[in-house]
Structure 1
Amino acid sequence: MSIESIVWALNDAPIPRDRRDASSLTVVLLGLANHADPFGRNAFPSLGTLTRYTRLSERSVRYAIRALEDLGLIRPADPDIVAAYVKRADRRPNGYDLAIERREPVHNSSGGQTLPPADQHGGQAAHERGASGDATGGKHCPRTVLNPSKNRPSRERAPEARSRPECGQCDARPGDPISARVVWLDADRVRSTPCPICSPAVTR
C-alpha cells in the first residue's frame, strides 16, 4: 500500500468530472493505488479483490480498467515483476502502473459557498428586504434584530414588590415579589401558604 498513490488517486488524478462513470473509475483507480508502490508502479490486485473493494460487478471493473487505460491513467506493468510474486501463470493477474506524473489542474473543487462580503450579516444582505418584490408593490421591512428592551419581558420587579419591606415572619428575600412570600406548613418544605402579613389580600 502506498499513501502517495492513494493521495494521487483521491485528489490529483485527472478523471473527467463530466463522465457518467467518473465515480466508478475513481474507486477502481483507488483500489489499484492501494496495491501500488510510492511511485505508482506494480499494482496487480485480482479482479475479485477490486470487485470486493469497489462493490462493483466484475464486468464493471473490467470496463473501468479499460477506460482508465484509454485515459492514460494506468498502463501495463512489467510482467516479470508480477511473475516474481505469482508463480503459476494461470493465476497471474494483470499488473498496472499508475501515471501519477499526470495531475489535475489546481482549482476550487470543494463546491462549497464562498464567505460573504464584510458588509453582509449572516450571509444575507444588510439592506432592507421586501415581503414581496417591487413589481408587486410589496412594502420594504427592516431586518429583524433582537432588541432586549422591546422583544423580551423586563425582569424588573413591580414597584409595590420593591417598596413593601419583608415582614420577617415568612421566607421572603430582598426583591422577592409578594406572590413568592410564603410560610411553610411543614418541616420538609413541601406544603406552603401565602404569607398573611405580606399579602393579606391573597389569604382572605
Structure 2
Amino acid sequence: MSIQVLNLVWAVRGLDATAKLVLLRLADFSDDTGGQIFPSVGRVADDTGLSERAVRQALRRLEDTGALRLVAKEDSGRHRAREYRIELSFFAGGSTCRPEAGAGRNEVPGGTSFRVGGHDVPPRGAPDAPRSVIEPLENRQGVRPYAFEGKVVRLNYSDFDNWTATYHAIPDMKAELAAIDAWLVGQPETKRKGWFHSVPGMLSRKHQERLAAAPPTPKRRPQITDLPEFAPR
C-alpha cells in the first residue's frame, strides 16, 4: 500500500463515486510509483461491495480518463494476473478531473459540471452533487471478504476456488498458502507487493511435484465379462 498514491486519489475531484471507490481500492495495492497492481475483478468487487459489472465499468471509465492504464492482460496459461498502473501524471496538474476533449461545460449553480467517461458529474458545491460514504469493511458485521487472509496473502473466495481447482493436486490449499505467506513476510517489499503475480507460480510447481510423485494408476486387468459373448443384448 502506498500512502502517497492513496492521498492523491483522495484529493482528486470530478470522478463519480463508484470509479473513485475502485481507484482507492487499486491504490491500496499499489507501490509509490502507482504500479504493481494485480487485482482480479472479483476481488475488487468483494472488497468494495460492488457488483463485478460495476467494477468492470468503473475500470473502463478510469482508463478513459487517463487515471488508470492496463499494463498487461490476464493470461491464465502463463499464470499471469491482470496488471494495472495508476498514472501519477494524471494528478500532476491538480486535483480536479479534466473534462473530455470536445465535451461541453454545463453551467449550474455552484460551479461547472464535467463529463467523465461519458457521464455527467456534478461539481463540488452543486445542489444535486451526490455524497457518498465509504464504509470500512471491518464495520460490516458478518462480512468476511477473504477465503484466506494472511499477513501478505489475501485471497477472496472466487480466486481461492479457482486456484484450488487449478492446483487440485495440492491437498490443503490453505496450509500451502499459509506456508507461502510466512515466507513472504521476510521478503523485500517489492516481492510482497507482487505476491498475486508470483504465488501462482509457486503453487504450480508444488502441483507438478505432487503429480509427479503420485503412484501411477494401475491398469485394469481384462475380465471374462469383457468378451463379446457377455455384451448386453
Q: TM-score range by the shorter chain?
A: 0.3 to 0.5
Query: Which of the pair has more CA radius of gyration?
Result: 1
Higher relative contact order (CA 8 A, sep 6+): 2
**TM-score, structure 1 as length reference:** 0.42
